[in-house]
Amino acid sequence: MQTNRDNIAVFSHVSIDYPLKKYTLRAVTDITFELKRGAITALVGESGSGKTTLASSLIRCISEPGRVAEGEITFYGKDGEERLDLLPDPKMRAFRWSKVSMVFQAAQSALNPVLTVREQFTETLEAHGEKLSKEEREAKFSDLLGYVKLDAERVLASYPHELSGGMKQRVMIAFALLLDPELIILDEPTTALDVITQNYIFTLLKQINREKGISMLLMTHDISVVAKFADYVGVMYGGRLMEYGDVRTVFHRRRHPYTAGLIGATPSIIGDISEMKPIEGSPPDLLHLPKGCIFAPRCPRCSDVCLTEEPPMREYGDGSKGKCYFFGEADDGKGN
Amino acid sequence: MEKATEQAKTPLMRLKGINMVFKKPGALFADKNIHVLKDIDLEIGEKEIVALVGESGCGKTTLGKIITGLYRPTSGEVYFEGERVSGTFDKKISSYNQVQFIQQDSYAALNPVRTIYQSLYAPIKTHNRKWSRARIDERIEELMGLIGLLPSAQFLSKYPHQLSGGQRQRILMARAISLEPKLIVADEPVSMIDVSLRLSLLNLMKELNEKLDMSFVYISHDLSTTRYIAHSGRVAVMYLGEIVEVGKIGDVIASPRHPYTRALLQAVPIPDPDFKGNDELPLKSMQLGSLENRGEGCSFFDRCLYADDACRKKFGPVKTETAEVLCCGLDRVPTAPVFEKIIQTEENS
Ligand SMILES: Nc1ncnc2c1ncn2[C@@H]1O[C@H](COP(=O)(O)OP(=O)(O)OP(=O)(O)O)[C@@H](O)[C@H]1O
Ligand SMILES: Nc1ncnc2c1ncn2[C@@H]1O[C@H](COP(=O)(O)OP(=O)(O)OP(=O)(O)O)[C@@H](O)[C@H]1O
Ligand code: SF4
Ligand SMILES: [Mg+2]
Ligand SMILES: [Mg+2]
> Could you report the per-residue pLDDT of B146-194, keeping only the tens digit for each?
888 888 888 999 999 888 777 888 899 999 999 889 999 999 888 778 8
Do B217 and B50 touch, CB atoms closer than 8 A? yes
| Mean pLDDT (whole number) for B293-322 | 87
Nearest of A318, A334, A310 to residue A29 by alpha carbon: A310
B196 → closest Cβ in A262, A270, A271: A262
A174 lies within 8 A of chain B by CB: no
A221 → closest Cβ in B194, B200, B279: B194
Q: How far is B10 from chain A (nearest CA, A)?
A: 32
Residue nearest to atom 1 of ligand 3 (CA): A324
A270 → closest Cβ in B198, B222, B342: B342
- How confident is the model over A15-65, as pLDDT tens digits? 999 998 889 999 999 999 999 999 999 999 988 899 999 999 999 999 889
Longest distance between any two alpha carbons in chain B, whole Å: 68
Peptide bond into B151 cis (omega under 30): yes
User: B261: which residues sit within 8 A by CB, 6+ positions away?
Assistant: B237, B244, B245, B252
- How confident is the model over A203-259, as pLDDT tens digits? 989 999 999 999 999 999 999 999 999 999 999 999 999 999 999 999 999 999 999
- How confident is the model over B118-153, as pLDDT tens digits? 999 999 998 888 999 999 999 999 999 888 888 888
Q: How far is B61 from chain A (nearest CA, A)?
A: 15
- Report the C-alpha gap between B337 and A199 in whole angstroms: 19
User: B327: which residues sit within 8 A by CB, 6+ positions away?
Assistant: B244, B257, B258, B259, B298, B300, B318, B333
Of the pLDDT bands very low, low, confident and very high (cuts 50, 70, 90), residue A336 is: very low
B347 → closest Cβ in A195, A274, A279: A274
Residue nearest to atom 5 of ligand 2 (CA): B22
Do B174 and B102 touch, CB atoms closer than 8 A? no
DSSP for B144-195, written as a single string: HHHTT--STHHHHTS-GGGS-HHHHHHHHHHHHHTT--SEEEEESTTTTS-H
A257 lies within 8 A of chain B by CB: no
Ligand 2 centroid to Cα of residue B36, in Å, is: 7
Instruction: Flag whether pLDDT at A183 surpasses 50.
Output: yes
Tell whether ligand 2 has an atom less than 6 A from the beta carbon of residue B34.
yes
Q: How far is A238 from chain B (nearest CA, A)?
A: 13
Rounded (5°) CA angle A250-A254-A257: 120
Q: What is the DSSP letter of A307?
A: G
Rounded (5°) CA angle B215-B218-B221: 165
| In chain A, residues 132-161 whose CB comes closer than 8 Å to chain B | 149
Ligand 4 centroid to Cα of residue A104, in Å, is: 9
| In chain B, residues 275-294 whose CB comes closer than 8 Å to chain A | 275, 277, 279, 281, 283, 286, 288
ipTM of the complex: 0.87
Say what the pLDDT of residue B95 is. Answer: 47
Do B273 and A248 touch, CB atoms closer than 8 A? yes
Say what the pLDDT of residue B269 is. Answer: 93
Ramachandran category for residue B26: left, alpha or beta (phi over 0 → left; psi -120 to 50 → alpha): beta
Ramachandran category for residue A317: left, alpha or beta (phi over 0 → left; psi -120 to 50 → alpha): left
- Report the C-alpha gap between A128 and A93 in whole angstroms: 9
Of the pLDDT bands very low, low, confident and very high (cuts 50, 70, 90), residue A165 is: confident
**Closest residue in chain A to residue B54, using alpha carbons only:** A194
Instruction: Flag whether pLDDT at B339 surpasses 90.
Output: no
Of the pLDDT bands very low, low, confident and very high (cuts 50, 70, 90), residue B86 is: low
Ligand 5 (ion): residues with CB under 5 Å are B 61
**Closest residue in chain B to residue A198, using alpha carbons only:** B267
Ligand 4 centroid to Cα of residue B130, in Å, is: 48
A288 lies within 8 A of chain B by CB: no
**Residues A319/A324/A330/A333 CA torsion (nearest 10 deg):** 0
Query: Alpha carbon B327 to chain centroid distance?
Result: 22
Counting atoms of ligand 1 from 1, which one is nearest the CA of A286?
A: 29
Binary contact (B271, A224; C-beta < 8 A): yes
User: B292: which residues sit within 8 A by CB, 6+ positions away?
Assistant: B32, B33, B34, B35
- Report the C-alpha gap between B86 and B71 in whole angstroms: 10
Strands (E), chain A: 7-19, 24-36, 40-45, 67-77, 80-83, 100-103, 183-187, 215-220, 232-237, 240-246, 313-315, 321-323
Q: How far is A15 from chain B (nearest CA, A)?
A: 24
Ligand 4 centroid to Cα of residue A280, in Å, is: 23
Ligand 5 centroid to Cα of residue B72, in Å, is: 17
- Average pLDDT of chain A? 90
Long-range contacts of B123-129 (CB under 8 A, 24+ apart): B123/B97, B123/B175, B123/B178, B123/B179, B124/B178, B124/B179, B127/B97, B127/B179
B267 → closest Cβ in A47, A199, A270: A199
Long-range contacts of B260-265 (CB under 8 A, 24+ apart): B260/B300, B260/B303, B260/B304, B261/B237, B262/B333, B262/B334, B262/B338, B263/A196, B264/A195, B264/A196, B264/B53, B264/B54, B264/B55, B264/B223, B264/B237, B265/A269, B265/B223, B265/B338, B265/B339
Q: Between helices A165-177 and A117-127, what is the axis angle to 10°?
A: 20
- Enumerate the β-bridge partners of residue A86: none
Instruction: Flag whether pLDDT at B321 surpasses 70.
Output: yes
Substitution site in A237, A258, A325 for ligand 3 pocket (most atoms within 8 Å of beta carbon): A325
